[in-house]
Amino acid sequence: MKVRIHVSLKPGVLDPQGRAIHHALEGLGFEGVNDVRAGREIELDVDDSVSDEALDAMCKQLLANMVIENYRIERVTA
């Protein structure tokens, strides 16, 4: 099955990339964008037997940096 890991910066962590994207959107003339935060999505194809605990451990040990990032695990039923 497919699993999507959504990795995002924790609130309060300055996001230079998000700020640059925000600036670029404004440069293109889009109005009303209040803030932009850039994240990362990692898609895994795993056996159905892979547990939530194992996915959680993957995130904590490698996929996210817990100092600056949060993660959300989404199992995608194909």
Partner 1 sequence: MSFRGAVVTFPGSNCDRDMAVALEAVSGVPAIRVWHGDAELPANLDFIALPGGFSYGDYLRSGAMAARSTVMQSVIEAARRGVPVLGVCNGFQVLTEAGLLPGALMRNASQHFICRNVKLKVENSQSLFTAGYSAGQILNIPVAHHDGNYFADDATLDRLEGEGRVAFRYAETVNGSARDIAGVLNEAGNVLGMMPHPERAIEEALGSSDGRALFESAIRSLVEA
> What is the three-class DSSP state of 34?
coil
Q: How many residues bind partner 1 (CB under 8 A)?
A: 11
Least separation in angstroms between residue 77's CB and partner 1 is 26
Site for partner 1 in 41-70 (CB under 8 A): 61-63, 65, 67-68
Sort 71 into a burial class: Cβ within 10 Å, 0-12 / 13-18 / 19+: buried
Strand 2-9 versus strand 69-76 pairing type: antiparallel
Please identify which residue in 16, 27, 29, 32 interacts with partner 1, judged by CB under 8 A. 16
Per CB under 8 A, 20 contacts partner 1? yes
